[in-house]
Amino acid sequence: MNTYTLSQRSLSNLNGVHQDLVQVVHQALALSEYDFVVIEGLRSLARQKELMKEGKSKTLNSRHLTGHAVDIVPLVNGAIPWQDWSAFESVSKAMKKAAYQLNVSINWGGDWISFRDGPHYELCREVYP
């Protein structure tokens, strides 16, 4: 256990996100080796279209549009270690463990093969359509 708490920014980015996923995020932070920040949750269609235009997303069917997804990044000495995959993987272990404990089915974008998305977590479509 650690003493990390979600920042105001993280909490406001959880607004409109499915409550089961919010619970997982809270529990994961307690289990996590690294502090982390929720950089995005619920997303507007306009923003999704922007991200596609910028090549940062591949779909208009994003789980962010319905509040079924969050983007989470580790914080190491106050910075986001974009080059350090192991820190993202560490956060994913905390998220998966928390999801397991709470019996919530999630997918991590880092496990995707075609477009590996380290910050991305979403509720399984099979369980949460």
Tell me which residues touch Zn ion (CB under 5 A).
71, 120
Please, which residue, 30 or 116, has the CB nearer to Zn ion? 116
- Shortest CB 92 distance to Zn ion, Å: 13
Q: Considering the complex, what minimum distance in angstroms separates the CB of residue 3 from Zn ion?
A: 27
Using CA atoms, how far residue 80 sits from 50, 56, 75, 92, 116, in Å, is 23, 18, 5, 15, 17
CB nearer to Zn ion: pick between 2 and 89: 89
Terminal CA-to-CA distance of the chain, rounded, Å? 33
Q: Minimal CA–CA distance to 5: which of 28, 18, 17?
A: 28
Which lies closer to Zn ion via its Cβ, residue 81 or residue 110?
110
CB of 57 to Zn ion, least distance (A): 8
- Phi/psi at 4 (5° precision): -65, 145
User: Cα(77)–Cα(43) distance, rounded to whole angstroms?
Assistant: 28
Smallest separation, CB 21 to Zn ion (Å): 12
Of residues 2 and 58, the one with the C-beta less far from Zn ion: 58
